[in-house]
Amino acid sequence: MSKILTAKEVRTEIYLYNTLQVDAVRFNDNGNILIADGEEAASCCLNCANPRCMFINEEASQCTKFHDIAGSVDLHMCPSRAISVGERSIEIDKSKCMGCGLCARACPVAAISVVNGKAEVHKYSNEKCIRKLPVTEKAIEEQERFLLECGHIKKQGMILQESDAVMKNIHKYVHFLHQDKQNIFVRNLFILLGNHVTIARKGNVYMRLDGFYQNESGYGVLEVETGSDTLDVARAILDDIAVLNSRHGISMKDNDPLAVCLYLPNKRTDYWQVVKDIKEVTGIKIRTLTIGALLLMLWNHVELQDFGSFYIDVENTSIRKELERIIGRKIQISIGTDGILESQK
Amino acid sequence: MIRFRNPGSDLDTMIAVLKQLYHELHEKDFFDNTDIAKVLSKANLMASSGFTGDKAVALGANTNKSRDKTYNNAKMYAEIFRILGFLSIVNDAASNYRFTFIGEHMAAAGVDAKLLIEQCVLGMNNPNRIMDVSYKESVRFFSCVLLTMLELDDILYRDEMILGPMSVNDNSEEDFTNMIDFIKSLRKTKSERKLSTELEKLAKSQTDNKKEGMTVNSVQNCTRFPISVLKYCGWVENIRCNIYGKSMVFMKLTPYGKETANKLKTYKDIRLEDYEKLSKSHREALIRLGTYSMLGRAGFETNVVQAEMDKDAKEIESITEGKEVLFSPYQTLDFITVNDALNLQLTPYTASQKNQQSAVLKTYAKRIIKKNVVELDYNTAINQNLMTEDTDNFIRNVMQLIQREKSTEQIVKILVEEHRGDNKGEFYPLVETLFRIIGVDCRKSRDGVNGERWDAMIRDAHKSIPIEIKSPGEEENVSIKAIRQALENKIVLLSRKTYITDCQTSSFVVGYKAPNDRAEVAELIQNIKETYGYKIAVFDIASLFLMAVNIIVNKKGINIEKLYGLEGIVNVKDIDC
């Protein structure tokens, strides 16, 4: 058949910096800065034809070490789908935004900030260093070349200053996300930290694992728990490893499992002892991370591709020290807050 | 009542499936369910038994099409895509499909195809010429739900949706008003019981697969697809309301849902019966206007067809009353009629192409479930050292049944039935009792001892066995979860050395009934053995009864040495039965 109609172009214009060489971007409280050839300019939304803040790179949602998984096809970056394309810039629906900063980290030119718990887009306002382009194939190609270059630039400053209140607010949102969206959120966090992650599509009762990650240091199964049933996470990981070993040829000894929780399990739960038992008997080291810890690394521009140091058990139920080492400073979250960095009770 | 099948996938996945199908199959004159299954498996978009790709096809394949998992999955997608107007049947063959003009746009839409999905969702209407369904309601369902919510303070409960929009002729203003009044009257009763009674009445009045009456559960299952669609489109969100005397989760119109509902009120909704009253030229004008209007609302550029749309709008102005048209041709009419009106040419079908295009799925070997038969052929007797008050009571009960001339088989049946409603408090001691009669020192764990993760332990000087127990009150059939817990029990016991055991000794699971998905549970047990080297054995309560009763009655049982090394789903065989 013929006569396919073209989709209406919502964008009326896209933008490009006059320079092709950006040295760094800096996150500031009062507007982010782009640094090129020693000069500073305000960051602003380029209204990208291929907006990194809206969609993850599809390639990063696939793991070459484990093809045999029906992965989620949801490529949205924002777990609450608060971002949409506008005529002159992307738009953020603040009623949906949970202020997690995923979009801010994903934007190559730091055109998004998180202010008072909500993402805010810096829109073009006749900056001298930026030119407007019509939405043509040629302009889109030019913009894409520029953005690819930007992928490697240095990022300075913090996307968001952590505090007990900030973390509690985001936790509240994450808690109420549908489980599929929580898993997608975790996937996107890991991808932005430099990993490849596939999240299993819902409804596949035989593929019980939540996901699979892969990076330069290794690969393994991923289980996400946002409730209090953390003991089930350890059991699920043992199940995942057995199934992958026997049915899919992924050897137990190469499989470095990761448990991602919203709250670290309480000290009095048996999770920590069971994790130790599993290590003693099978040699499997279950690494335990929290969504809050991943967010802290995200806001501080960390690239994390080795989870080995996040093995904790009954001997030590805190990841604070390790996280402070990675970020390079003290973390401004009170001891025990929401079980983000250490177990409560 | 309208029946929606539950496709088991979210709309994002469905869109990805459609795009992949289009990518692979759009150049074909037609394709069938087998072609769809092949494409989906190849692209990892469909799984069978945890596998994707060729393995999925192999494992799901069955020479009997009705049991072929991948084929049936493909069939389900095809059905949903037909309802949404993306695929149509060609050549009058029930499973020869082509992409419709709308389907092509769906495949070409960017990553975010939500607006076109919305239009196709609103386009679903009954009756139509595309689906042969058993229900008789004349309704544009999703539009009816939104308009119903507007009339009912913006909220609707799942069961109200069944009694209302799923069971109404919304083309009759009187029927629609009566339906609204009916739901309002139910709400006034503030009685959940009254709502349930009405639902039971409706369920009983339904016919499903030529069988009279449906269960309330089956009726409620029909709401899964519409509720997920309403949420996906952003029209509703969950809210807790106390309308029927207790707090229940209702759907509430979002501002966007309300905006959509109000827009719908301004459209001219045209159904099949209206279409059939029109002249040929009016029909064609309506098909073009309906199709292009849908695409325009879905964010496609209609400039190139604007002149045609204006001309058609003028021609049928008396029918549309100058309003925007709500009419989805591919979801109402046959493929050829719509394509002719849109002047879309198709490559003619030739019989020889059928053979070229149909893929053939081979049947591969299935997963083998290893049988673990335990024969009660070992001469044994009750070990008096293991007897307790509970074992004495059990033995007395069995002896009484024997005196009533019951056979072993009948006794087991009676006992299984007696314990159908057991919770932990009754079931765990029962398991302890049965194992003690079988001849091992079994003790259930004390409540609240965190370190003892198992529910009971067979204590032995060298080969202790942890037991994970699931009472019928917890789960009727042993689940995957219980197997996981049995593995954890084994690891914890080996690590903490609370009782002495070794790697070769089993870890047990006892449940009321054997697992539903025997193949998957048996395979997981096998996977655990291959990966960690530990054996897990699953017993249903009937097996334990059979073993215990046999010892009491026939003094025949199992060699305890064999018990320690059992694995898999244990099938106890009474050689005297």
- Residue pLDDT, tens place only, B364-389: 334 445 567 777 777 777 889 999 99
Q: Tell whether A93 is within 8 A of chain B (Cβ).
A: no
Provide the residue range defining the domain that includes B556.
372-573
Which B residues, 458 through 517, put their C-beta within 8 Å of a C-beta on chain A?
Answer: 480-481, 483-485, 487-488, 491-492, 494-496
Q: Which of A10, A70, A280 sits opposite B52 (nearest CB)?
A: A70
What is the 3 state secondary structure string of B425-443?
HHHHHHHHHHHHHHCCEEE
Q: Tell whether B227 is within 8 A of chain A (Cβ).
A: no
Q: Is residue B461 part of a domain?
A: yes
Which B residues, 529 through 548, put their C-beta within 8 Å of a C-beta on chain A?
Answer: 530-532
CATH of the domain at B550: 3.40.91.30
Q: Which regions in chain A score pLDDT beneath 50? A: none
Which B residues, 242 through 301, put their C-beta within 8 Å of a C-beta on chain A?
Answer: 292, 295, 299-301
pLDDT at site B56: 66
Report the run of H or E that residue B535 belongs to, with start and end: none
pLDDT tens string A228-281: 778 899 999 999 999 999 988 999 999 999 999 999 999 988 999 999 999 999
Beta bridge partners of B196: none
DSSP B126: B
Residue type for A29, please? D
pLDDT band at B108 (very low <50, low <70, confident <90, very high): confident
CA-based nearest residue to A146, from A38, A60, A39, A36: A36
Do the chains contact at A239 and B295, CB–CB below 8 Å?
A: no
Strand order in the sheet with A218-225: A196-199, A211-215, A218-225, A258-261, A287-290
User: Does residue B223 register a pLDDT over 70?
Assistant: yes
Domain boundaries, chain A: 14-56+77-156, 164-339
pLDDT tens string B442-493: 999 987 776 778 999 999 999 999 999 999 999 999 999 999 999 999 999 9
DSSP B303: G
Do the chains contact at B301 and A6, CB–CB below 8 Å?
A: yes
Count: domains in chain B: 1
CATH code of A14-56+77-156, in short, is: 3.30.70.20
Chain B residue with Cα closest to A280: B495
User: Does residue B52 register a pLDDT over 70?
Assistant: no
Do the chains contact at B487 and A8, CB–CB below 8 Å?
A: no
For B152, what's the count of Cα atoms within 13 Å in the CB-facing half-sphere? Answer: 31
Q: Which of A9, A204, A235 sits opposite B484 (nearest CB)?
A: A235
User: Does residue B34 register a pLDDT over 90?
Assistant: no
Q: Tell whether B76 is within 8 A of chain A (Cβ).
A: no
**Mean pLDDT computed over every residue of chain A:** 92
Q: Is residue B415 part of a domain?
A: yes
Please, are residues B155 and B252 in contact by the beta-carbon 8 Å criterion? yes
Q: Tell whether B346 is within 8 A of chain A (Cβ).
A: yes
This prediction has a pTM of: 0.83
User: Does residue B50 register a pLDDT over 80?
Assistant: no
Secondary-structure class of domain A164-339 per CATH: alpha beta
CA-based nearest residue to A198, from A219, A178, A177: A219
Do the chains contact at A247 and B295, CB–CB below 8 Å?
A: no
Nearest chain B Cα distance for residue A37, angstroms: 36
